[in-house]
Chain A
């Protein structure tokens, strides 16, 4: 395995850029997944509310205590300037309410108007939230009173009734279609993968293949007693091990992130990414056949990686792309990768037939790129034989 060992040694010297791509991608993916999972816990908003109790009765205290269960109570002096400073500049309170004198008497008399005064910034949000809460409270008290309860009992029952928290679950936009084993962040992980695969495979595999096929080295190798078929096989083996190795790193990271990758329809996304990995390697081989310089390889990495990513829906979802761009994108393999990924993730309607078509089209691209690479190789070989005189 002489050629294979040399291939790996040369690759080792070129691995820095691949590691940077992989580490950055995985770091971003993990942080993205964590931030998304935090967003899924529902938490009702709490305002900073100051209560100025002018009534100072058990009823007004009961209301103040109730507000304290829903929002954060703050102390404030009853001075208009201090209140305005707190509201406008200090940002220590969002809403200042006043329980007007005669609050308990008015409740007893079932008069519900002008019970409260308030100071607030007209941001709409805190104002509406507090007014909604107070209206809800007074309406409930009135209802209990109407049923024959005393004011204090009505207030007690109201506080109990409004303290019940609703169970809230955040549903995704397409929750009915969404594949529960293929979460949004996991589908995004697979969606961004082609960019990294293209970048890593072109930027690493190309220089290694070029080093192995450098004219003089190839000449010396061809002069040796090492069989050409064994040489080609060992280069192929080295390339495949690198490609599968990179792909496996992503799959292992995906398993850690998602807690499994072969559940439900997720295995289809795994297969999709595998086909695209091999296709990316074929693209790298094709580029290497043109014997580009290091600068040209970097340029090709950016143009192909970023170009496909922007046009085919990797960075920008298909729904935001114009029909013209999507039509052009159909001529690029990444479009079919993203299309399959969207169907598997439930973003688009899932159809096993259409997913299979996407796989077949990517495989056709793979075959075409491999044949083109073989053709260029043959042309180069003939040309060098002609010039080698």
Chain B
């Protein structure tokens, strides 16, 4: 049976009048890459801060590796690595000195630390930049240094708080591959993000948060099964008569149709061969149409349907 690495029970955190976490529960098993999804202000970072005992909470219980987590649980903290959205390194220290400093906060043994640092440097591919100061590194290299500082001590639980914000696609892919490799090497990963595609690609299980509550939890397939939409059919078509649109809406498993004068979007809920039935109606009416495509639901659809709003803010 898989061991429970993180267990959060009935966590309540208030900032004055604001209820940041509302009886929040979570259980993460060993070896998982667990995604914590939610819009800004949903309580993701507050959850992480409570988990790390950086914030006190009003009610609830947190256990990590089967032990109660407190601010002085140094034996637990020793097994945790944290990688934040903002790069947290000393500008005044070189790449090597930075990794050595942060690794040294966990590993006192110099020989072991040296070995771990070498492995971390190799893992993030910074061998040629050891004597560089962070200001001389590109954005992608700086992120890799940030990751090296967080994982050099070989933690069993790695918490990544939106590590790919403002990162170019190439570096993002490298970071995601790195996280998968860390997981393959035995680390349990908690990954918070509002990048749906990353979470979908990476995470074995996902919890969706909104207003301090967990509103859904499961694998991505389980989450997708929770929503009504199973397929969205889009057809480029000009001059669609209203009676044809009504006829399509009346087909089985179709729960909504939208026509904007150029494109017909049909939302299906379950059923098979929905596309064939829709095209059959159009052919019978002798209507010509252009591009036709179907989409399976994404986590964004899940989030949209569950919370009634998009995951990412418009400006993001």
A-to-B contact residues, CB < 8 Å:
2-3, 5-6, 9-10, 13-14, 211, 214, 216-217, 219-227, 385-386, 388-389
Contact = CB atoms under 8 A, between A and B. Distances in A.
A214 B134 CA distance: 15
A225 B87 contact: no
Interface in B44-91: 45-46, 49, 52, 54-55, 72, 74-75, 77-78, 80, 82, 84, 86-91
Which size class do B's interface residues fall under? 35 or more
Secondary structure at the A interface, as helix, strand, loop or mixed, is helix
A227 B97 contact: no
Given A224-B102, A227-B74, A6 B93 contact: yes
Contact of A220 (B45, B55, B78, B84): B84
Contacts of B87: 216
B105 interface: yes
Given A2-B104, A6-B93, A224 B45 contact: no
B163 interface: no
B15 A389 contact: yes
Contact of B86 (A216, A226, A227): A216
A64 B243 CA distance: 140
B150 interface: yes
Nearest to B73: A225
B93 A9 contact: yes
B77 A220 contact: no
Residue of A10, A223, A227, A385 ringed by the most chain B CB atoms within 10 A:
A223
Contacts of A220: 82, 84, 88, 102, 149-150
A225 B91 CA distance: 23
A223 B55 contact: no
B20 interface: yes
B116 interface: no
Given A2-B105, A10-B93, A217-B88, A223 B52 contact: yes
Contacts of A5: 101
A225 B105 contact: yes
Contact of A9 (B20, B49, B92): B92
B166 to A, nearest CB: 15
Interface in B254-270: none
B107 to A, nearest CB: 9
B24 interface: no
Nearest to B108: A2
A62 B101 CA distance: 88
A388 B90 CA distance: 21
B106 interface: yes
Contacts of B90: 6, 10, 211, 214, 217
Nearest to B91: A211
A321 to B, nearest CB: 41
A2 B104 CA distance: 6
Given A211-B92, A216-B84, A226-B74, 17 more contacts: A6-B97, A9-B92, A13-B92, A14-B92, A211-B91, A214-B88, A216-B88, A219-B54, A220-B82, A223-B54, A225-B74, A227-B74, A385-B54, A388-B49, A388-B54, A389-B15, A389-B41
B93 to A, nearest CB: 6
B92 A385 contact: no
Nearest to B20: A389
A225 B15 contact: no
7 contacts: A6-B97, A211-B90, A211-B92, A220-B84, A223-B52, A224-B106, A389-B41
A386 B16 CA distance: 9
A2 B77 contact: no
A59 to B, nearest CB: 85
Complex A-B, nearest 5 residue pairs according to Cβ-Cβ distance, in ascending order: A216-B88, A2-B104, A224-B105, A225-B78, A226-B105
Nearest to A229: B72
A386 B149 contact: no
A225 B54 contact: no
A13 B20 CA distance: 42
Nearest to B133: A13
Nearest to A231: B105
A224 B75 CA distance: 10
A72 B105 CA distance: 79
Contacts of A3: 105
A209 B15 CA distance: 29
Nearest to A12: B92
A3 B20 CA distance: 34
B20 A10 contact: no
A355 B46 CA distance: 55
A211 B133 CA distance: 14
A220 B152 CA distance: 13
B44 to A, nearest CB: 10
A309 B106 CA distance: 46
Nearest to A13: B92
Contacts of A219: 54, 82, 84, 88
Contacts of B43: 389
A14 B93 CA distance: 12
- Residue among A2, A9, A225 with max Cβ neighbours from chain B (10 Å): A225
A10 B92 contact: yes
B25 to A, nearest CB: 19
Among A10, A214, A217, A221, residue most surrounded by chain B Cβ atoms (within 10 Å): A217
A388 B47 CA distance: 11
Contacts of B97: 6, 9
B105 A221 contact: yes
A211 B41 CA distance: 29
B77 A223 contact: yes
Contacts of A216: 84, 86-88
Nearest to A218: B88
A234 to B, nearest CB: 11
A216 B82 CA distance: 11
A383 B167 CA distance: 29
A153 B49 CA distance: 108
Nearest to B43: A389
Contacts of B46: 388-389
